[in-house]
Amino acid sequence: MPSFSRRGFTLAAAATMALPGADLRVFSREDALWIEAIQSHIIPTDDAPGAREAGCLAYLDLQLTQALQRFLPAYRSGLKDFQTTHPDFLTQSPAAQLSLLTQWNGKPFFEMLIDHTMQGFYGSPAHGGNRGQASWKMLGIEAYMGEGHYHGR
């Protein structure tokens, strides 16, 4: 009977779940799990949708082939460093994950991911994030897309 580590089982189980942006362009499926787990702490789900529901992973994965392409090497090296430093991150409790992430506050990789997660959450759905206008609805903004302009209330 093969033996499975808890981490291996968790990663295997997570890999079978449908990810937002399942048509990944840049990230491997495993790397996408890591990015999305971190993003879910940057903008957590509470009484309103968080980064996961708003498709921030899909935004980042798409934009790293377009406007944010120059950041791709920094994402590759930063994520690898994070994974090497904290190999059990995905299997830890949310509180333990948050504690680890606070240690990364101010580090370039983490700051870059915060910025790009915010862009995906609050930006135009036309760029791959803000699925269902989640953040705009949360803020009470009625989006109107006429001649490329957005008008609030």
> Structural domain of residue 89, as residue ranges?
19-138
Answer yes or no: is 144 within a domain: no
Answer yes or no: is 50 within a domain: yes
pLDDT of residue 140: 86
Strand partners, 10: none
User: What is the residue-wise DSSP string for 106-141?
Assistant: T-HHHHHHHHHHHHHHHS-GGGT-SGGGHHHHHHTP
Q: In the chain, which stretches have pLDDT less than 70? A: 1-22, 142-153
pLDDT of residue 150: 52
pLDDT per position as a tens digit, 93-133:
999 999 999 999 999 999 999 999 999 999 999 999 999 99
pLDDT of residue 23: 85
Number of domains in the chain: 1
pLDDT of residue 109: 97
Answer yes or no: is 4 within a domain: no
Please give the C-alpha separations between residue 135 and each of 9, 34, 152, in angstroms, as whole numbers. Answer: 33, 22, 13
Give the global pTM. 0.80
